[in-house]
Amino acid sequence: MSKIEYLLPNDEEEKLKLLAESSLYEFYKQALPIIDGSGYFSDEWFMRVIAEHLENVYYRKITKLLINVPPRLGKTSLISIAFPVWVWIHNPNEKFLCSSITSDLSLDIADKSRMLLMSDWFKSRWGDRFKLRADQNAKGYFVNDKNGYRYSTSVTSAVIGRGGNILICDDPNAVGGESEVIRDATNRWWSLKWFNRIILSDISPTCRILVQQRGDELDVSGNIIANDINNEWVKLILPLEFEKDYVIPTSYLPDFVDDTLLPDYKSVWQDIRTEEGELLTERMTVTEVEQLKKELGSYDYAAIYQQRPAPLEGGIIKKHWFRVYKSRQLPRFEYIVQSWDTALTAKQNSAYSACTTWGIFRDAKDNTNVMLLSCWRDRLEYPELRERVKRLSVNYMDTSNVPIVYNPFYNPDMIIIEAKASGDPLIADLNRAGVYAEPFVPNQHGDKLQRVRLITPLIEGGMVWLPIDVENSIDIYEPAGFAKDFVNEVAYFPNPRSLDYVDTMTQALIVLRNLGKLMNPGDYIEPDDASIGRNVIY
């Protein structure tokens, strides 16, 4: 029983009306036969969760809401069709700006919302609260007599001169087959045209809702997640199969908090599932899910249904291949190489400059291994980048901005920088400043994918290690925070998000292998080929 049901009258119709007013989910349940015409309703817990997050948007407890959910589960019917109508029951002055990937889809969604408003079911209950204006009653733009409106547009259309109190963007990216050009154009539309289509008001802050199924690591959702450094967005991410390592708390939802915890209003909702692999919906069976995995492949399945554009265990590079060095005392390193992938601009959509540092050590069987020692990544203009390279060249652990301090224990033996448009002038400039770097010519080792294939046997063979997180108990054996972040990034390869870190890793391991300092124990090496540094071409 709902927490409000005990307050309802005995009259059944009045009870249903009050239930629908008080709860978006109850409203959606009653309106669904009008929206889709089937009369079929599946009472799914996650739809109630989405509805309560949307209620928090209306009450301005949330002003930026990102929803990632698998396809064909009713998200559009609830979010883009039912929600605006439910809001108008309470405040018909609210102004909605709604968009989708195409104009036809956006207009079809708007028309269903308008059809719900004009239905006898709705008019008999709330028709006295407002009326649609006859002179402004089209699919793309309809207005009520309380000055509220819904304007619908698409990713490819202009929104000049229009604004809203609540902006709803429903699936802006095409899933499957979207080119980089189209994806980047969509991201520009979001940033330059859509995001600022607001009505400034001290009374009612503008709210933004983005709902989509994922398809690409650099889609609109991916850009929001990557750049939300201040955690301004509430992220409701619902994978089809539950993953214990991918649970993100959201906001306070009264219906999903144990009453025994109250009045602990700081409690927030997170996925209520507990079993690894537990399905989100009862509409799909395990057999059907396995068939989806076969048909889509691991990358597309992870994106579209798990809301992660890479499998949790990794793509080409598997997370579990990396080994954790289970000691607080690091081994003695025989040789340390620092690897750079550089970009010369700090623009928000530009590539990152990245640096990783690697140390060669021997295990108890005298086999050579390599350990990740440090990571750095940022968007910097050239002068700041040059100073960062100088700083890390004398102390690879120094990520501060205080005066540079040389540390002989953290001094790399070799610095390599990818030889490309940004790398070549940087190498020359650094050499003049007394920092000697070697160029790495990537094309001599194939394209990005081929270079990754060259070094994956070393990782899969257990030769690449991560340092332990010394803040945790020695019994936990968690990798250090920077190492965990690194592995999570490279596991996305070949998706674009991971390229800068992957490039630094591949060129470091290729150079160490070519120097004869890192060899797979299973490989047979001719004596002449093992000569260190002989005619090496990086």
- Across 41-55, 88-102, 110-124, 494-508, least confident range: 494-508
Peptide bond between residue 479 and the one before it cis (omega within 30 degrees of 0):
no
pLDDT in tens, 67-76: 999 998 999 9
- Shortest CA distance to 503 belongs to which of 345, 240, 317? 317
Q: Are 376 and 500 in contact (CB under 8 A)?
A: no
Cα first-last separation, the chain:
69
**Burial class of 455 by CB neighbour count within 10 A (0 to 12, 13 to 18, 19+):** buried
Distance CA 165, CA 264 (A): 31
* Residue 301 or residue 476, greater confidence: 301
What is the C-alpha to C-alpha distance for residues 137 and 110, in angstroms, rounded to an integer?
Answer: 11
Distance of CA 25 to the CA centre of its chain: 27
Higher per-residue confidence, 398 vs 47: 47
How is residue 210 written in tokens? 């983005």
CATH says 319-530 is which class? alpha beta
> Where would I find the beta strands (DSSP E) of 83-205?
95-100, 132-137, 141-144, 149-154, 166-170
Alpha-carbon distance of 387 to 18, in angstroms, equals 65
If we measure between CA atoms, which residue out of 317, 352, 327, 338 comes closest to residue 451?
317
Alpha helices (H) along 265-310 = 286-304
Calpha distance 242→502 (Å, rounded): 28
pLDDT confidence of residue 179:
76
pLDDT band at 536 (very low <50, low <70, confident <90, very high): very low
Tell whether the torsion through CA atoms of 507, 513, 515 and 517 is positive or negative.
positive
Contact 220, 212 (CB under 8 A): yes
Q: Report helix, strand or coil for 529.
A: helix
The burial class, CB within 10 Å (0-12 / 13-18 / 19+), for 92 is middle
Query: What are the residue ranges of CATH 3.40.50.300 in the chain?
Result: 5-297
* Spatial contact of 234 and 66, defined as CB atoms under 8 Å apart: yes
What integer pLDDT is reported at residue 500 of this predicted model? 87
The answer to whether the beta carbons of residues 220 and 184 sit under 8 Å apart is no
Distance set, CA 512 to CA 322, 412, 455, 456 (Å): 17, 13, 11, 14
- Give a three-class secondary structure readout of 417-475: EECCCCHHHHHHHHHHCCCCCEEECHHHHCCHHHHHHHHHHHHHCCCEEECECCCCCCC
Q: How far apart are CA 379 and CA 345, in angstroms?
A: 7
Judging by DSSP bridges, how do beta strands 335-341 and 438-440 pair with one another?
unpaired
CA atoms within 13 A on the CB side of 242: 14
What per-residue confidence (pLDDT) applies to 528?
40
Superfamily for the 5-297 domain: P-loop containing nucleotide triphosphate hydrolases (3.40.50.300)
Closest CA to 155 of 232, 220, 66, 91: 220
pLDDT surpassing 70 at residue 513: yes
pLDDT for residue 174 is more than 60: yes
Alpha-carbon span 442 to 452, nearest angstrom: 11
Share of the chain above pLDDT 90, in %: 50
Calpha distance 151→164 (Å, rounded): 8
Q: Distance (Å, rounded) from C-alpha 465 to C-alpha 214?
A: 32
Name 400's Cβ contacts closer than 8 Å, sequence gap at least 6: none
Q: How far apart are CA 308 and CA 213, in angstroms?
A: 10
Q: Phi and psi for 295 in degrees, rounded to 5?
A: -75, -40
Reference 341, options 326, 352, 357; nearest CA is: 352
Residue 159 CA, chain-centre distance (Å), reads 26
Chain centroid to Cα 80, Å, comes to 22
Quote the CA–CA distance of 311 and 100 in Å, as a whole number: 27
Give the β-pairing of 95-100 and 335-341. unpaired
| Structure token pair of residue 211 | 């709902």
Whether omega for the bond prior to residue 172 falls within 30 degrees of 0, making it cis, is: no
Q: Can you tell me the distance from the alpha carbon of 92 to that of 420, in angstroms, rounded to the nearest whole number?
A: 58
Structure tokens at 84: 């605006």
pTM over 0.75: no
According to the model, what pLDDT value does residue 473 have?
A: 52
d(CA 28, CA 57): 16
Question: Over the stretch 319-365, which tens digit does the pLDDT of each residue have?
Answer: 889 999 988 889 999 999 999 998 866 555 567 889 999 999 998 88
Q: Residue 64: how many CA atoms within 13 Å on its side-chain side?
A: 13
pLDDT tens digits, residue range 357-393? 999 999 888 889 999 999 999 888 888 999 999 999 9
> Within the chain, which residue ranges are assigned CATH 3.30.420?
319-530
CA 187 to CA 222: how far, in whole Å?
A: 10
More confident residue, 470 or 104: 104
Q: Are 337 and 504 contacting, i.e. CB atoms less than 8 angstroms apart?
A: no
